Chain A
Amino acid sequence: MLIHVRLAEPFWRAAGSRTLALELPAPATIADLLARLEADYPALKTEIELSPPLIFIGEMEAERTSSLAAGALVHLVWPLAGG
């Protein structure tokens, strides 16, 4: 199934793109998606380890165990809230 990924600062720089579209075998979870992203983009793996992201599926916050539906839009956002 097709999963869309939106990478916020600083993750997109490691992947070289703000948005990605990935084919994952169903059923899949966020953990599966992260494993695939980390395999495809080694620099992103380092970035995620350095700065663990908040993960959203659409507007809902997700856990590593959250299931993905075909066509889902997953956001990886760096938790920062200064000013």
Chain B
Amino acid sequence: MTLSVTTAMVDLSTGRHELTTVPPEVVHAYLGGRGLNMAYLYRALSDHPEPRKLDPLGPENPLIVGAGLITGTQAPNAARFNVSARSPESGILGDSNCGGFFGAAMRKAGFDRLVIRGRAEQPSYLLLEEGTLSLLPADDLWGTDIHAAQEMLKARHGPGTVAAVIGPAGENQVRMAGIFTGKKNAAGRGGMGAVMGSKNLKAIVARGGPPIAIAQKDALRAIRLRQQEYLKNSRVIQVLGTAGTPMLYEVSNRLGAIRTRNSQENHFADSLNAEEIEKFSDKMLACTSCVVHCRHRNTLGGEGPEYSTVGLLGANLGIAATEQVIALNNLVNTLGLDSSSTGTIIGWAMELYQRGLITDELTGGPLLWGDFERVTGLIEDIAHRRGFGAILAESTQAVRFFPLEARDYLIAVKGLPQSDPHDVRYFKGFALGIAVASRGADHLRNRPTLEVFNLPDEVRARIYGRANDPDPTSYKDKGLIVAWSDDIYALSDCLGICRFVTHGFNSPHLLGYSHFQELVHAATGLEQDVDDLREVGRRVIDTERLINASFGLARSDDTLPKRYFNDPMPDRKTKGHRIEPEQFQHMLDEYYAERGWDAEGRVPAARQEEITRLVSSLP
């Protein structure tokens, strides 16, 4: 089998598209998913006379939707696709990874990737079907929420239809709007839904098509069975499949590391423990080819909540009632909002109100911790850009409506609100991770989660390649472990494999480079050794650094929310911990050195030339 990776170049302004094949050298270099998306994004920016002036909500911002190289195959948890563009939320690299069934459906329909430019004249959707692509009117869908849009599209196109849609938030170009492929599965981060809305694109629908071509079917099946057994023996996989990610809440809370009331506090109510969430769960759900089944179906009509949502729409807003937090989870998902950004931004506004930095005149009424009714109304208003909600719909950019001091209380990096509810002042590697993550404050790019285990020195040395300081609260060697995590997580995003089965994320007993190598070989026929695969991850991180450099980002942008430097954590085991600024700079130095970047965090010229040459062969 000759591997052929396709990209449809779509122009919504003209309604035309062209199906292209990615040059083999570029496939070898980036594989697919996040990696190839970054190659296309960097290519688009290289063509732009002034990337800094590229309007994220303008027709020229490319919306790149790309499935992982082995998404939709029998490989374990190979469900993911990435959506990338210049982020309207942060103004920098925007990239969001999503599970569910859409990635596989898109590949089956004959498309590995779409690069969507322009703006449709009227509300429209794209239909991918049996290798054909059509642009169809969506006037009747415009204004519908996530569930209604998906149901209408399923009814229209029949069984096997899978749709990636935006809700009212995306239509209204709310800067933290996501793209949803189910009741909860979302490309949530960075406002990719707003980019889609700015293009008048309500949905991308995939259906039909032959099975995805596999180089060595029997070998892949055998590898799948073996890796499945290996994964199922992992304790973390077993527990994720019963309790889901909410189990992480109790751990962080007991440590005193749950972002509470905009990180003024660091622990919250036990009513948000996994056992309480579980009372509202009637089933565990899965994505394509998943061996874990980590997602709750809740009895209030939605899916989730995940740990991040529990923390950020619960503890971060002072809301303790389990049922209320689940209701808020369902609401943001129905309207098409990213729960992480929404919870962070509302928490920020609540603290500004608490401090008298904003008043009823701006907010339209009291904004008090724990006020479920007010938060419910505010989420609706954000999605529809009404009243004070229209200001918060600007996400971190709402800072322009507030006094200057407001930025001191914003829990964001590079314009992106922090994704997860873990207060990173204690684990120094976590802090470095969100400071350098290419899309802004985000744990899924590089969180060195093994820091929480007391792993023996020799095991740590084997994992990270050399001896390193086992103390998670020291600043030493954190550059090494964050760079290591960067690389392997980037690779799994290129392949389309879920983070929950990727080596180093919650466990050292998950799928690593050699597992990935055998999967890639059997699924595609590509001959890549482990070093080649490592290099793919490194190249993706370098490409992302170049993308952000083209938006003007520099070392000074690799930083943390002011509170993490200034305010010690108030309670529990983490009490007294904060990030010491000078030590933080040493961590950055070490991280840049690990990455082979110069002291300013710049990618070496030779690598830049290599990447420029590779992407220049893309259409």
Contacts and interface: CB of A to CB of B under 8 A. Distances in A.
Interface string B430-465: 100000000000011001010111100000000000
Interface stretch (B86-94, B127-135, B173-181, B240-248): B240-248
B254 A10 contact: no
B571 A80 contact: no
A83 B447 contact: yes
A51 interface: yes
B584 interface: no
B447 A82 contact: yes
Contacts of A54: 251, 254-255
Interface string A54-83: 101001110000000000000101111111
B422 interface: yes
A9 interface: yes
Given A54-B254, A77-B251, A82 B505 contact: yes
B452 A75 contact: no
A80 B236 contact: yes
Contacts of B492: none
B454 A83 contact: no
B363 interface: no
Given A8-B254, A18-B275, A56-B254, A81 B449 contact: yes
B20 to A, nearest CB: 35
Given A9-B274, A59-B571, A79 B251 contact: yes
B30 interface: no
B251 A80 contact: yes
B250 A8 contact: yes
A2 B245 CA distance: 33
Contact of B252 (A51, A52, A81): A81
Interface in A4-26: 8-10, 12-13, 18
Contacts of A78: 239, 247, 251
B420 interface: yes
Contact of B235 (A51, A75, A81, A82): A51
A80 B452 contact: yes
B511 to A, nearest CB: 15
B235 A10 contact: yes
Interface in B351-369: none
B227 interface: no
B427 A81 contact: yes
A80 B251 CA distance: 7
Contacts of A60: 573
A81 B247 CA distance: 10
B607 interface: no
A81 B248 contact: yes
Contact of A79 (B245, B274, B453, B500): B453
B185 interface: no
A75 B419 CA distance: 27
Given A9-B239, A18-B275, A81 B451 contact: yes
Nearest to B306: A83
Contacts of B242: 10, 13
A83 B245 contact: yes
Contact of B254 (A13, A50, A75): A75
B307 to A, nearest CB: 7
Contacts of B612: none
B138 to A, nearest CB: 34
A79 B256 CA distance: 13
A33 B499 CA distance: 36
A12 B500 CA distance: 22
B250 A77 contact: yes
A15 B369 CA distance: 37
Interface in B560-619: 571-573
A49 to B, nearest CB: 11
Nearest to A9: B247
Given A10-B235, A10-B239, A51-B235, A80 B572 contact: no
B308 interface: yes
A83 B307 CA distance: 7
Nearest to B239: A10
A13 B239 CA distance: 10
Contacts of B505: 82
A76 to B, nearest CB: 10
B250 A61 contact: no
B554 to A, nearest CB: 27
B133 to A, nearest CB: 35
A27 B541 CA distance: 56
B262 interface: no
Given A77-B250, A80-B236, A59 B506 contact: no
Contact of A8 (B245, B247, B444): B247
A59 B267 CA distance: 11
Q: Which has the most chain B C-beta neighbours within 10 Å: A18, A80, A83?
A: A83
Contacts of B254: 8, 54, 56, 75, 77
Contacts of B528: none
Nearest to A59: B572
A80 B257 CA distance: 12
A32 to B, nearest CB: 22
B377 to A, nearest CB: 29
A76 B427 CA distance: 20
B238 interface: yes
A50 B506 contact: no
Given A80-B449, A80-B452, 8 more contacts: A9-B243, A9-B250, A10-B235, A52-B454, A59-B573, A80-B236, A81-B427, A83-B449
List the 7 shortest-distance A-B pairs measured between CB atoms, nearest first: A9-B247, A82-B506, A81-B452, A83-B420, A83-B443, A79-B452, A10-B239
7 contacts: A9-B247, A13-B242, A59-B571, A60-B573, A77-B251, A79-B452, A82-B443
Interface of B: 235-236, 238-239, 242-243, 245, 247-248, 250-252, 254-257, 273-275, 307-308, 419-420, 422, 427, 430, 443-444, 447, 449, 451-454, 499-500, 505-506, 571-573
